[in-house]
Amino acid sequence: MVQKEYPSGYNRALFRHWIDANGNGCDTREEVLIAESVTKAQIDAYGCKVIEGDWFSPYDNVTYTNPSELDIDHMVPLKEAWDSGAWAWSSAQRQSFANDLSDPRSLIAVTAGQNRSKSDKDPSNWIPPQANYRCTYLSEWVAIKSHWKLSMDQSEFGRIKDLLTASCTTTTVAPWGSAATVPTTQPTPTGQTLGTVAVNDSIVSPVTTVAPSVATPSASVGTPGVLQVNPVRCKKVEFGLTGEYKGLPYVCSDHRKDGSAYAAGYYMWRPA
């Protein structure tokens, strides 16, 4: 739905975030850090505090081992959600949105500076500097807005439409959700199965299949004929596919090389 935003009344405190939704001692930030570490994250023995791991920030193509250098970005910022319809939600719905672990696209570990540069901007005012990630970014934005039934303003819609038409004609949107445990207060505003991104007034057109095209090419030139990837999330439908990152073999997997599983619903490109 394309309509004007509701730009008044927002307060970050209205979205209670970084809660321990499943009572395992880890708040939402730590859960995302654990899930997105390419290697098994090291956790402080006296409480769930991640102290080391290996993360890749797709916004700027940078890797980190120190979690203090990372922010957990709400793909659709809290204020943007408020302006787009969350102003009418209950407190429980806003809390669910702010801590949404039902799909890995909702929250992502990125360079702190990039998250703060993005702030509460929509794609009409900010897209990632890493060009090879932009189509993925737009597809994730569309998926979240559609799932939560959040509107787009005219400039946001127009910018996304232009970018999809010009550069992302083969980009797809994977179906929402996973086996991940989510809070019982999770609202159910959709139930929609998303498919190919469509450039029309509804933004997303449901279809029955999803093409395996989530791999984000790396900036480096690799072996001819070999899929070039980055150590970021991959789709369930790509499980077992192989590629290359900086000349090294990678595979889309639901577990790390040491055999430890990623969080439920997470699939990552990791060293083969």
Q: What is the pLDDT of residues 65-117, one digit of tens each?
A: 999 999 999 999 999 999 999 999 999 999 999 999 999 999 999 999 999 99
pLDDT at 59 over 50: yes
* Rounded average pLDDT over 252-272: 86
More confident residue, 87 or 258: 87
Of the listed ranges 83-87, 155-159, 200-204, 242-246, the least confidently predicted one is 200-204
Q: How far apart are CA 85 and CA 5, in angstroms?
A: 8
Please tell me what DSSP assigns to residue 262: P
Q: How confident is the model at residue 224 (pLDDT cuts 50, 70, 90)?
A: confident
* Rounded average pLDDT over 191-202: 37
Residue keyed to tokens 């708040």: 27
Enumerate the domain spans of the chain. 13-271
Characterise 45 by phi-psi region: left (phi > 0), alpha (psi -120 to 50), beta (else).
Answer: alpha
pLDDT at 216 over 60: no
Q: Return the pLDDT at 18.
A: 97
Q: What is the pLDDT of residues 163-188, one digit of tens each?
A: 999 999 999 888 887 433 232 233 33
Average pLDDT, the chain: 84
Q: Return the pLDDT at 60.
A: 96
Q: What is the pLDDT of residues 114-130, one digit of tens each?
A: 999 999 999 999 999 99
Give exposure, 108-139, as e/b (b: 16+ Cβ within 10 Å). Answer: bbbbbebbeebebebbbebbbebebbbbbbbb
* Rounded average pLDDT over 217-245: 78
Please name the residues in contact with 74: beta carbons below 8 A apart, sequence gap of 6 or more.
Answer: 81, 98, 106, 107
Beta strands in the chain (DSSP E): 42-43, 50-52, 55-57, 62-64, 70-74, 107-111, 242-245, 248-253, 268-271
Q: Return the pLDDT at 134.
A: 96
Work out the percent of the chain whose per-residue pLDDT is above 70: 83
Tell me the pairing of strands 50-52 and 42-43.
antiparallel
Question: Would you say 13 and 31 are in contact if contact means Cβ atoms under 8 Å apart?
Answer: no
Residue keyed to tokens 């000349």: 247
Q: How confident is the model at residue 211 (pLDDT cuts 50, 70, 90)?
A: very low
Q: Return the pLDDT at 204.
A: 40
Q: Return the pLDDT at 201.
A: 41
Q: Return the pLDDT at 64.
A: 97
Residue 164: how many other CB atoms lie within 10 Å:
19
Q: How confident is the model at residue 221 (pLDDT cuts 50, 70, 90)?
A: low
